[in-house]
Amino acid sequence: MTYTMDGWQEPTLAENLERAGVSRRDFLKFCGGLAAAFAAGSAVMGSLPRALADPTPGAPVTGDQVADALGSVTKPNVVWLQLQECTGCMESALRSGGTTVEDVVLNLLSVNYNELVMAAAGDSANSVLDQTNASDHILVVNGSIPTKDNGIYCTIGGKSAEAVLRESAEHAVAVLAVGACAVFGSVQASRPNPTGAVGVDQIITNKPVVNVSGCPPIGEVIMATIAYYLTHGDVPKTDAEGRPMFAYDQRIHDSCPRRAHFDAGQFVRSFDDEAARTGWCLYDMGCKGPSTFSPCPFVQWNGHTSWPIGAGHPCLGCTEKDFFDRFTPFYNRLPQVPGLGVEATAEKVGLGLVGLTVAAVGVHAGVTAIRKSAARKNHEEIPLEAFGDSPAGEQSAIAAVVDMAEEIPPAAPEASDTTPTTDSEKTE
Amino acid sequence: MAQQVVIDPLTRIEGHLRIELETDAGVISNAWSEATQFRGIETIVLHRDPRDAWAFTQRICGVCTTVHAIASITAVENAIGSNVPQQALLIRDMVLASQEVQDHVIHFYHLHALDWVDVASAATADPAKAVAFAEQIGSTWKGNNIDRMTAVRDTVANLIASGQLSIFTGGYWGHPAYKLPPEANLMAVAHYLDALEFQRTMIKINTVFGGKNPHPNFLVGGMACTIDPNHTASINQVQLADIQQWVKDTLEFVQTCYVPDATAIVGVYKEYFDIGASSPNYMAVGMSGATFGGNPNQTPRYPTPMMDVKPGVIVNNDFANPQPFDPTLISESIGSSWMSYAGGSQTLTPDKGETTVAYTGPTPPYEWLASATDGKYSWCKSPRYNGMPVQVGPLARVLLAYSQNHPRTKELVDGAVATLGITLDQMNSTAGRTLARAVECLTSAEMLANDTLPLFIKNLQGGDISVFDPSKWEPSSWPKKASGYAFVEVARGNLSHWVSIENGEISQYQCVVPTTWMTGGRDENSQMGPYEVSLAGDGKHPLVDPTQPLEPLRTIHSFDPCMSCAVHVLDVDGQELQVATS
């Protein structure tokens, strides 16, 4: 543990950075790099836009100017909403660790409204929200917006989540949707989406929304997105899903430490088998790494302690749209495509998988919907043993019941004979 | 003349809670506990693969992360008959224990402390006196030194001088109900920051075994993380050394920082042992972390110290005669919730549970909910045990352990009661719940350090590296129809998950969740729920300034509300969601 105080102690960024051991020379170098972005007219927080608002027209902004402006910047105000959600994203943000320059920069924020940690409650909290909403601020949103039935499924201060979001977005200079719920709706939006939950960019359509996806996103990635805006003066470049490229430009599969085992056709066939202990590829156990863009292998979790595949579990694909519908059953293998296991075609394979998954899941969902309507009539009074309704010993094995026809057809990968698992240990 | 007061949002909790009050002459005369978020996950898990259910139900809550997942896999394993290896169970116990300790610490410092600690006052404190105060209350925490206290004081002073108070904006600083001297406030703010750092370390145990936190990964039949002293890709001595150090650090923080701080604060605010009394009935199935696949009255899958305390219910503060726990006496009322049951029934046992939305509240925006003519004002159901509201959670567990003469609990409670000069009955109070949570956190950290982790390591040294039962993995190995359930004592109280499986799919799924027990409002017999009783049960709860509801915040926070859990409602009967908006 460290006991250094990383909060805002000096009045300006320059002084805080100096205290954190960042020299003036390094700071100037950093600002020189930012000058181009600022000269392009990007939005910048706090007093910086005013400081740079009236340079000589056409004249380039210099690193010195940026340094002077950034050095005197006051803390940007932040409204951090939690809508229809589980607070996992805030918890993840709390876990973001380290005492780096990045951390110092993050302490520049004045988070005036966040229900999990703020001191004020009730009327006082609502006043703080109204006041912060009235001028420029960064808006961070956790959680989805339930749109059905006039917004009755999530209200705050008597207002619908949608109304709260719209009010907070009006004067926001940047909107960050943080977490699978805020980005895509996530678990409550998965079928049949009973409350009509949608992501932030379905509601806020008049300004760009940066989508920090993941269930939850890695704490450091949440904080880095805010830091990116603060230091670059603009929102990060994003992919087609609105996710920052600095964190979501690579498939897990392409940067996975177990990739060599995939290419060699070395697969875990059953949890806790010798292949699992050796750290072979989890593709056959349902890993969604080939279809998932996420920085997990690089950044890892909780102070670089581990990450899901590192701890032996297949990736659930939680940074991807509608993963609770598209990627379930979670332990089913992604669809088989020809050429698997050959490095030269891996890129093609990966791209193919994304498309095939969508198609396969579409079919799967249709079949399930039909089965569902039939099943609704058949399971009404299932007895539960604790209530004395169920005969003891009903657990005796009965023949297989799952209609595998509705599942994505599994097929063994090529070169699977190199696995150390014996046939009896295979799960299929 | 009664005045209406609304606290919405009720902050520093998980999720969305609205409290409506009537006050008169400085005391609360009536109260309504209102859950204002509904997600409808119950209709979402239906017809899915039971092996996936943990991932869905874990998303009920990110503060109580891990606990719903563990309850879910345990219920499914109970249904399909998995024989989970002991090492996997021990791993889950370590994950649960570290999560619980971390959760209690976050609750005390980051969600509750600002009810007692005036941050603005800390800016005026003498750092030397803060160090002396820490010494006086028995805190031997290594962060107690003048340099540290000075740095924190300067930070707070600069924050205030800057005019941008960040998360402290709009707090009730200077309220006459704040009673700590400046040096105590400074010490507490320093420990608030230390606790933030601490929780990042503590939770890494979850990450080693589950790959991430929040929302680590679990597996029906065991754990996916392999343990093997001879493989780099498995958990081996490298991680074990880390875990041993983290557990040591955890115990140190709880012993030298959290427990002394909590004890000192409830000592200064001793009048809160006479404020906030709730239902005098308490229910638990063991100590924190006790996990049962199936009936908790039967033999556990393996003996753990968390199960040294047997399931039981204390009725009407009769600590000498705990009653046996009978799961068939649990029911859920919809007396005040926007739900309807088939046939107009107002209460159902969980196995017959239904979740049909029947919203009759106002269209937002609205000003007041409690006056609805049909008596409905919340998304939360009202669980009852044998028709009674009961308290669950740290207080219930500590009192049950005490009533069964659990040695360590008895020693800690007797010591605290004697020092504070209170009676055992007075533990049923705002301060008592806060004190009980600290007592429990210490016993949990001790069991993790002294029992669970050493046993896991001993087994590993003996060559026991199995963490998964593959025999029940394939759905073809399951009965055509099966049902199972699990009880787990988690940070906020007694949690149970109930699942029925048919043809390899979930046909019914239900959770009965700690915060539901506490948050639920009036039942069909107009009995108030535990939150409501604590605020308006005796007509004496103070609320001096209705614009600054500091006193009711203290009482509600003492329960550690988790609203996303409360209104998870996974009771599934397969009906389509129906809405009748008036």
Cα dist from B83 to A428, B74, B199, whole Å: 20, 11, 33
A375: which residues sit within 8 A by CB, 6+ positions away?
A: B47, B502, B503, B505, B507, B574
Kindly indicate the confidence band of residue A61, based on its pLDDT and cuts at 50, 70 and 90.
low
Tell me how close the Cα of A30 comes to any Cα of chain B, in angstroms.
26
CA B436 – CA B272 distance, rounded (Å): 13
State percent of chain A over pLDDT 70. Answer: 58
Express each pLDDT in B111-166 by its tens digit. 999 999 999 999 999 999 999 999 999 999 999 999 999 999 998 998 888 888 88
* Burial of A341: CB neighbours in 10 Å, binned 0-12, 13-18, 19+: buried
CB contact under 8 A, B170 and A125: yes
B65, HSE (Cβ side, Cα atoms, 13 Å): 25
Kindly indicate the confidence band of residue B574, based on its pLDDT and cuts at 50, 70 and 90.
very low
Express each pLDDT in B188-210 by its tens digit. 999 998 998 888 899 999 999 99
CA A390 – CA A370 distance, rounded (Å): 29
- Please name the residue of chain A whose CA is at the shortest distance from the CA of residue B113: A119
What's the whole-number mean pLDDT along residues A217-241? 88
CA B228 – CA B10 distance, rounded (Å): 47
Express each pLDDT in A343-357 by its tens digit. 333 333 333 333 333
CB contact under 8 A, A110 and B465: no
CB contact under 8 A, B207 and A302: yes
Which pLDDT score, from 0 to 100, does residue A66 have? 54
Which pLDDT score, from 0 to 100, does residue A362 have? 29
Of A33-47, A108-122, A196-210, B140-154, the range with the lowest mean pLDDT is A33-47
Complex ipTM tops 0.85: yes
What's the whole-number mean pLDDT along residues B77-104? 97
Whether the pLDDT of residue A422 is over 80: the answer is no
State percent of chain B over pLDDT 90. Answer: 85
Nearest to B76 by CA among B99, B55, B102, B96: B55
Is residue B293 within 8 angstroms of chain A, CB to CB?
no
Which pLDDT score, from 0 to 100, does residue A229 have? 85
- Please name the residue of chain B whose CA is at the shortest distance from the CA of residue A306: B211
DSSP one-letter string for A42-104: ----TTHHHHHSSPPTTPPPPHHHHHHHHHTPPPPEEEEEE-BS-SHHHHHHHH----SHHHH
SS3 B2: coil
Fold of the A252-375+408-425 domain: Cytochrome-c3 Hydrogenase; Chain A, domain 2 (4.10.480)
B24: which residues sit within 8 A by CB, 6+ positions away?
A: B1, B2, B3
Residues from chain B that touch A374, judged by Cβ atoms under 8 A, are none
Structure-model confidence comparison of residues B578 and B413, the more confident one: B413
Is residue A305 within 8 angstroms of chain B, CB to CB?
yes
Of A56-60, A81-85, A380-384, B553-557, the range with the lowest mean pLDDT is A380-384
Select from A188, A277, A372 the Cβ nearest to the Cβ of B228: A277
CA A325 – CA B55 distance, rounded (Å): 12
When computed from its CA atoms, the radius of gyration of chain A, rounded to whole angstroms, is 25
Is residue A184 within 8 angstroms of chain B, CB to CB?
no
Sequence spans of domains, chain B: 3-329+386-566
What's the whole-number mean pLDDT along residues A290-294? 95
Which pLDDT score, from 0 to 100, does residue A231 have? 78
Of B63-67, B317-321, B351-355, B440-444, the range with the lowest mean pLDDT is B351-355
**Bridge partners of B399?**
none
Kindly indicate the confidence band of residue A96, based on its pLDDT and cuts at 50, 70 and 90.
confident
When computed from its CA atoms, the radius of gyration of chain B, rounded to whole angstroms, is 23
**Bridge partners of B3?**
B23
Whether the pLDDT of residue A58 is over 60: the answer is no
CA B187 – CA A49 distance, rounded (Å): 39
CB contact under 8 A, A271 and B221: yes
Which pLDDT score, from 0 to 100, does residue B316 have? 97
Whether the pLDDT of residue A83 is over 50: the answer is yes
Residue with tokens 């006086």: B136
Which pLDDT score, from 0 to 100, does residue B149 have? 97
DSSP one-letter string for B459-516: HHHTT----B-GGG-SGGGS-SEEEEEEEEEETTEEEEEEEEEETTEEEEEEEE-HHH
What's the whole-number mean pLDDT along residues A212-239? 89
CA A349 – CA A124 distance, rounded (Å): 55
**Bridge partners of A145?**
A198
Domain boundaries B3-329+386-566, CATH class: mainly alpha
Which pLDDT score, from 0 to 100, does residue A384 have? 25
Which pLDDT score, from 0 to 100, does residue A284 have? 95
Q: Helix H segments across A134-218? A: 161-169, 180-184, 186-189
Cβ atoms of A145 and A193 within 8 Å: the answer is: no
Domain boundaries A76-247, CATH class: alpha beta
Which pLDDT score, from 0 to 100, does residue A75 have? 79
CB contact under 8 A, B52 and A331: yes
Select from A146, A216, A389 the Cβ nearest to the Cβ of B215: A216
Whether the pLDDT of residue B565 is over 80: the answer is no
Which pLDDT score, from 0 to 100, does residue B338 have? 96
CB contact under 8 A, B226 and A312: yes
Nearest to A183 by CA among A110, A112, A84, A94: A84
Mean pLDDT estimate for chain B:
93
Residues from chain A that touch B59, judged by Cβ atoms under 8 A, are 86, 88, 186-187, 215
Which pLDDT score, from 0 to 100, does residue B361 have? 97
What's the whole-number mean pLDDT along residues A19-43? 46
State percent of chain B over pLDDT 70. Answer: 97
Kindly indicate the confidence band of residue B322, based on its pLDDT and cuts at 50, 70 and 90.
very high
CA B143 – CA B556 distance, rounded (Å): 30
pTM: 0.85
CB contact under 8 A, A125 and B65: no
Express each pLDDT in B385-418 by its tens digit. 999 999 999 999 999 999 999 999 999 999 999 9
Q: What are phi and psi of B433, to 5 degrees?
A: -65, -40
Kindly indicate the confidence band of residue A7, based on its pLDDT and cuts at 50, 70 and 90.
very low
Is residue B458 within 8 angstroms of chain A, CB to CB?
no
* Burial of B161: CB neighbours in 10 Å, binned 0-12, 13-18, 19+: exposed
CB contact under 8 A, A95 and B199: yes
- Please name the residue of chain B whose CA is at the shortest distance from the CA of residue A97: B200
Whether the pLDDT of residue A340 is over 60: the answer is no
Select from B56, B168, B249 the Cβ nearest to the Cβ of A119: B168
A54: which residues sit within 8 A by CB, 6+ positions away?
A: none
Nearest to B195 by CA among B115, B146, B138, B261: B261
Asked, as a colleague might, if the bond just before A192 is cis with ω within 30 of 0, I would say: yes
Sequence spans of domains, chain A: 1-74, 76-247, 252-375+408-425
Kindly indicate the confidence band of residue B259, based on its pLDDT and cuts at 50, 70 and 90.
very high
Would you give the DSSP letter of residue B166? Answer: G
Which pLDDT score, from 0 to 100, does residue A15 have? 62
DSSP one-letter string for B521-576: ---TT-PPPHHHHHHHSSS--B-S-TTS-HHHHHHHHTT--BHHHHT-------PP
Is residue B229 within 8 angstroms of chain A, CB to CB?
no
Nearest to A121 by CA among A151, A86, A166, A157: A157
SS3 A109: coil
Structure-model confidence comparison of residues B412 and A371, the more confident one: B412
SS3 B21: strand
Whether the pLDDT of residue B21 is over 60: the answer is yes
Would you give the DSSP letter of residue B30? Answer: E
What's the whole-number mean pLDDT along residues B417-426? 97
Express each pLDDT in A9-30 by its tens digit. 444 555 655 655 555 555 555 4
CA B334 – CA B355 distance, rounded (Å): 10
Q: Which two tokens stand for residue A138?
A: 């960064």
Which pLDDT score, from 0 to 100, does residue B581 have? 29
